[in-house]
Amino acid sequence: MSPTAVELHSVSNFVDECNLCLRGGDGGAGCVSFRREAHVPLGGPDGGDGGHGGSVWLEADRNVASLLAFRDHPHRIAGDGTHGQGAKRHGKRGADQIVRVPVGTEVLDRETGEILVDLANHGDRWLGAAGGQGGKGNARFLSNRRRAPSFAEQGEKCEDEWFRLELKLLADVALVGFPSAGKSTLISVISRAKPKIADYPFTTLEPNLGVVKVDDDTEFVVADLPGLVEGASDGHGLGDRFLRHIERARVLVFLLDLASVDGHSPARQLEILRAELGAYRPALLARPSIVVGSKADVLTPDDWGREAAVDLAIASVTGQGVTELVWRLAAMVKAAREQEPESDGFVIHRPVPVGVKITRDDDGSWRVLGREAERSVALSDLTDIGALDYAQHRLKKLGVDKALRRAGVRQGDEVRIGTFAFEYEEDM
């Protein structure tokens, strides 16, 4: 049975690297309100809480082909929470923003290059930007000390967070070869992918994907990658930019040009290709692979020599050996898949740093770092004496005063917590 072809998708303007800016929704403000009803004395506070802001999630989706959607529009923002109201009516939570990215997308810290998460499976989710917390209404501050609190918390404001996205294509088979080795022609024959084909080097400037359907139960994805040249792992040619797309392929096809006119024999081509993959990722050399000679209709085995150890010779234009190659690849892919454990989509929450840290700015002032400490002053109306007293109580409970003393702060030094600044006093 000869293989039939189906189309996976057409990739245009392929983008595999981009920056992405995420921002969670702002939290809603708490409400200051007092219950007032006829014949009900001392009704008391009844201000409701503000709603939490929505979060931004990144989700791997097999139906997304590239990072093109973020190239010109990198910003994604979740919905804001609404404000609280009287009668203890709480604000509505902001809507989450689900940002769908291709399967195989890595999220990196834009400044350090550290990999934060690898969304390698369909359905994998990562919390990119958490929503801001809603402020508490004045009803939450009722106590024996505060019988009529006249203050509430503001909603937490979120800031932009920048990340770097890099895509590593997920394909069952990767075609690896020199420019003009016939990779694009082969993938166009065995699938309905339509790569650019011409008789000059570096025709393929971006990866192409195609699905090869062997029968009703067997199909696999093939990636046609830009041609590699000697020194590609060091940045020569175009292949170095796309070497990472080979990393996730289950099977490698070393496609050798049997009629090469650049002076490299098939054996030398194979030597260079293996050396470049080994220099980039040594583990790639242990991946299941097959050595295929292309353009077999041009020369005979005696012409190209046996030293290349070619497993199979094909001619994509005439169809010679193509069906046999497809069946052999299908068997290799099946065997590789059986070795892999089943993986379900998972959810990753980024841990939020806890505790308090004291640093010193260049001007000599002290800075208190820590989300809870910053929230203690950012969410409070410090022009209200009750709110100021509550903020000081929270800071003391968090151990800010002890941390400042251990750091060496002195009377009169300036201390900053978020945007709030004050002079330190010993009796604080």
Taking only the tens place, the pLDDT of each residue in 136-156 is 998 988 888 788 888 888 888
Quick one: what percent of the chain has pLDDT higher than 90?
A: 22
Interhelix angle 385-397/400-407, rounded to 10 degrees, is 60
Judge whether 225 and 242 are in contact, CB under 8 Å.
yes
Report the pLDDT value the prediction gives residue 350, as an integer from 0 to 100: 66
Task: Tell me what pLDDT residue 206 has.
Answer: 60
Please check the confidence at residue 86 and state whether its pLDDT lies above 50: yes
Residue 113 tokens, joined: 């290059």
Q: How far is CA 153 from CA 257, 378, 424, in A?
A: 70, 8, 24
Pairing mode, strands 125-129 and 347-348: parallel
Comparing 389 with 110, the larger pLDDT belongs to 110
Q: Once rounded to an integer, what is the mean pLDDT over residues 267-284?
A: 87
| Between 375 and 195, residue with greater pLDDT | 375
C-alpha to C-alpha distance for 258 and 178, rounded to whole angstroms: 11
Q: What is the pLDDT of residues 406-425, one digit of tens each?
A: 888 888 888 888 878 888 77
- Per-residue pLDDT at 307: 55
Right CATH for 357-423 from 3.30.300.350, 3.40.50.2300, 3.40.50.10470, 3.40.50.300:
3.30.300.350
Residue 85's pLDDT band (cuts 50, 70, 90):
very high
Q: pLDDT tens-digit profile of 330-373?
A: 999 989 888 866 555 566 666 666 678 888 888 888 888 888 88
pLDDT digits (tens, 9 = 90+) for 300-325: 666 655 555 788 989 888 889 999 99
What pLDDT shows up at residue 261?
Answer: 58
- Residue 219: how many other CB atoms lie within 10 Å: 19
Q: Where in the chain is the domain with CATH 2.70.210.12?
A: 17-167
pLDDT in tens, 169-210: 777 898 988 887 788 888 888 886 554 443 434 444 466 777
Tell me which CATH homologous superfamily contains domain 173-338. Answer: P-loop containing nucleotide triphosphate hydrolases (3.40.50.300)
| Comma-separated ranges of CATH 3.30.300.350 domains in the chain | 357-423
- CATH H superfamily, domain 17-167: GTP1/OBG domain (2.70.210.12)
Residue 249 per-residue DSSP state: -
Residues 6+ apart with CB under 8 A from 416: 361, 365, 366, 367, 368
134: nearest Cα among 89, 104, 100, 168: 89
For the chain, give every residue range classified as CATH 3.40.50.300: 173-338
DSSP per-residue string spanning 41-80: -S--B-PPPPPPPP-EEEEEETT---SHHHHS--EEEPPP
Residues 6+ apart with CB under 8 A from 294: 177, 181, 182, 185, 186, 255, 256, 257, 258, 314, 315, 316
Query: What is the three-class DSSP state of 393?
Result: helix
Which residues, 6+ apart, have CB-to-CB distance to 195 below 8 Å?
184, 187, 188, 203, 204, 208, 224
- The pLDDT > 70 percentage for the chain reads 80
Where do the DSSP E strands lie in 272-342? 289-294, 312-313
Half-sphere exposure of residue 25: CA atoms within 13 angstroms, side-chain side: 25
Question: Looking at the whole model, is its pTM more than 0.85?
Answer: no
Tell me how far apart the alpha carbons of residues 161 and 360 are, in angstroms, rounded to a whole number. Answer: 24
**Is residue 383 predicted with pLDDT exceeding 70?**
yes
> What is the three-class DSSP state of 222?
strand
Average pLDDT over the chain reads 80
How far apart CA 265 and CA 246 sit, in angstroms, is: 24
Q: Quick: pLDDT tens for 16-41.
A: 789 999 999 999 999 989 887 766 66
